Chains A and B, each alone.
Chain A
Amino acid sequence: MSEISNEDIAHLAKLSRLTLSDEEKEKFAKQLPEILEFVDRLSVVAKLPSVSQPQTVPLAKLRVDEESSEKLSLADLQKLAPAWHDSQLVVPAVFGEVADE
Chain B
Amino acid sequence: MSEDLNIFLHKDLKPIEGGEGVLSGLKIAIKDNILVRDWPATAGSKILEGFIAPYDATVIRRLKESGATLVGKTNLDEFAMGSSTENSAFGPTKNPWDIKRVPGGSSGGSAAAVAADLCDASLGSDTGGSIRQPAAFCGVTGLKPTYGSVSRYGLIALASSLDVIGPMARDAETVEKVFSVISGADNNDQTTFEYTYRPVETDLSKLKVGLPKELWELSIDPEIKIAVRSFVDWLADKGAKIVDVSLPSVVYALPAYYVILPAEASANLSRYDGIRYRQSVVKDGQKLLERYMDTRSLFGAEVKRRILIGTFALSVGHYDAYYQTAVNVKAKITADHERVFQEIDLLLTPTTPTLPFEFGAKSDPVEMYQSDLMTVAANLAGVPGLSLPCGFSQSNLPIGAQLIAASSGENLLLSVAKQYQMETDWHTRKPN
Of the stretches B127-135, B169-177, B277-285, the one at the interface is B277-285
Pick the most buried of B249, B278, B313: most chain A CB atoms within 10 A of its CB: B278
The number of residues on chain B lying at the interface, defined by a beta carbon within 8 Å of a beta carbon of chain A, is 65
**Are A28 and B51 also in contact (CB < 8 A) when A39-B259, A39-B322, A82-B274 are?**
no
Interchain nearest-CB distance for A21 vs B (Å): 8
Contact B54 A79 (CB under 8 A): yes
Contact A20 B329 (CB under 8 A): no
Q: Considering the complex, give the chain B residue whose CB is closest to the CB of A20.
A: B304
Contact A56 B161 (CB under 8 A): yes
Contact A48 B190 (CB under 8 A): no
Tell me which residues from 76 to 116 in chain B have a Cβ below 8 Å from any Cβ of chain A: none
Tell me which residues from 285 to 307 in chain B have a Cβ below 8 Å from any Cβ of chain A: 285-294, 296-297, 299, 301, 304-305, 307
* Residues of chain B within 8 A of A87, CB atoms compared: none
**Are A80 and B332 also in contact (CB < 8 A) when A9-B308, A16-B266, A35-B366 are?**
no
* Residues of chain B within 8 A of A7, CB atoms compared: none
A25–B184 Cα distance when bound, in Å, is 45
B326 beta carbon closer than 8 Å to chain A: yes
Contact A41 B304 (CB under 8 A): no
**Are A36 and B312 also in contact (CB < 8 A) when A92-B286, A93-B288 are?**
yes
User: Do most interface residues of chain B lie in helix, strand or loop, or is the interface mixed?
Assistant: helix
Tell me which residues from 39 to 56 in chain A have a Cβ below 8 Å from any Cβ of chain B: 39-43, 45-46, 48-51, 53-54, 56
- A1-35 vs B, CB cutoff 8 Å, 1 = contact: the mask equals 00000000100110111111000100110011011
Contact A17 B292 (CB under 8 A): yes
Q: Considering the complex, give the chain B residue whose CB is closest to the CB of A53.
A: B327
* Residues of chain A within 8 A of B259, CB atoms compared: 39, 42
* Residues of chain B within 8 A of A51, CB atoms compared: 327-328, 331
A95–B287 Cα distance when bound, in Å, is 7
A34–B367 Cα distance when bound, in Å, is 10
Q: Considering the complex, give the chain B residue whose CB is closest to the CB of A50.
A: B328
B195 beta carbon closer than 8 Å to chain A: no
Residues on A close to B: CB < 8 A? Answer: 9, 12-13, 15-20, 24, 27-28, 31-32, 34-36, 38-43, 45-46, 48-51, 53-54, 56-57, 61-62, 64, 70, 72, 76-77, 79-83, 89, 91-95, 98
Nearest 7 A/B pairs, CB to CB: A82-B280, A48-B328, A16-B311, A51-B331, A39-B255, A76-B54, A19-B293
